[in-house]
Copies of this chain bind each other. A is one copy, B any other.
C-alpha cells in the first residue's frame, strides 16, 4: 500500500491530498460540495486518470447528498452535477466512465427517495475507490511478470498511488515487482510542465524506499543510449479500441525513443481507461492548458514573454506499445482483437 491517502470519503466530505503542493508540503483539501470537487479536478489538486474517476464519483455523491435535502427537482440537480463534473477535464476517460457508472445507479433507482438514492451513490463512490486499489494490485501482479530481476525501469509523469485511489498503475507494476523481490530501480522523467515525475513519482517511490533517479525529459534518449533503461512503463489517460494510447505529453516521444533503442514499452491501465467507443487515438480530445504552466514556476516567470503551446497529452500509436497491462490480464498486438476479446 502507498503510505498516504490520495482521496477518501470522510465524515460526509471528500478529502484529497493537494498534489500541487507536493513534495514541499503534505496538505489535505476538504471538499464539501460537488463544485469544490470539480475545481480540484480542474486545477489538478487531484490528477491521474483513475484518481479523477474516483473524484468524479465522490463529487456526484456529494452533489446528491446536498440535492436530496431539497426534494423538488432532485433529478434535474443530479443532471446538473454530472454535467459540471464531466466538463472538468476532457482527456481522461475514467472521468466519463465514473459519471456513467454513477448515472447507472440513479437510473436503476429512480423509484426510490432522494435520500435513499443519495445514500446508494455514496456507497457506489466508496466502492469505486476501494475497487480501484484492488484493480491496481491485480494489475501490478500481472505487470510484474514482464519485469525481470535487476531491471532499470523508466516511467513518465505519475501513474502511481497519487494517480489512483492507491498503489498505482505503472508504479503498481513497479511496487509489485519490488514485492516479488526483483530488486529493480526506477528512472523518473521529471515531466514538464507540471513536474509530476519530479514532484510526485520521485516523492512516493522515495517514501516506499524504491531506488529512483530523477532526470529531465530531455535526458531520456541519452540514458537509453547508455544502456541505463531495460523497460519503459507508463500509465494512460485513455486507450482507444485499436490500442492507441493518450497519456501525459512526452509519452509519444518516449515510445519512439524506446523503439529506436529496442527497449520494451508497456502501458499499465485499468480496463476503465479503455474507451471501446473510440476507434482510434486521433479521435481522443487533447486538452490544451494554461500557458502559465510552461512560463511560470509558482509566481516566478521562467521564460521570455512569447507564444506558448501547451497540450497536456499526446497519442502514442498502438504499434509503439509492446503490451497493455490491465487488472484482468496483459494484452498484446493486434489490440483491435486482443482488447475486443475483453468484451466477449
Contacts and interface: CB of A to CB of B under 8 A. Distances in A.
Interface of A: 22-24, 187-193, 195, 198-200, 202-203, 205-206, 211-223, 225, 249-250, 252-253, 256-257, 260, 294-295, 297-298, 300-311, 314-315
Contact of A222 (B199, B220, B295, B314): B314
A94 B67 CA distance: 71
A295 B212 CA distance: 14
A192 B218 contact: yes
B198 A295 contact: yes
A305 B252 CA distance: 27
Contacts of A217: 192, 216-218, 250
27 contacts: A22-B304, A23-B303, A187-B309, A192-B192, A192-B217, A198-B303, A198-B304, A202-B304, A213-B307, A213-B308, A214-B308, A215-B309, A216-B249, A218-B249, A219-B250, A219-B309, A219-B311, A219-B314, A221-B250, A221-B256, A221-B314, A222-B249, A222-B314, A223-B309, A225-B314, A256-B257, A256-B260
B199 A303 contact: yes
A249 B311 contact: no
A208 to B, nearest CB: 12
B250 A295 contact: no
Contacts of A260: 256, 260
A24 B301 contact: yes
A304 B206 contact: yes
A202 B303 contact: yes
A217 to B, nearest CB: 4
A255 to B, nearest CB: 8
Contacts of A249: 216, 218-219, 222
B205 A306 contact: yes
Given A198-B303, A301-B24, A302-B297, A193 B206 contact: no
A202 B306 contact: yes
Given A192-B217, A198-B295, 9 more contacts: A188-B306, A202-B306, A206-B304, A214-B304, A214-B308, A216-B310, A221-B256, A256-B260, A260-B260
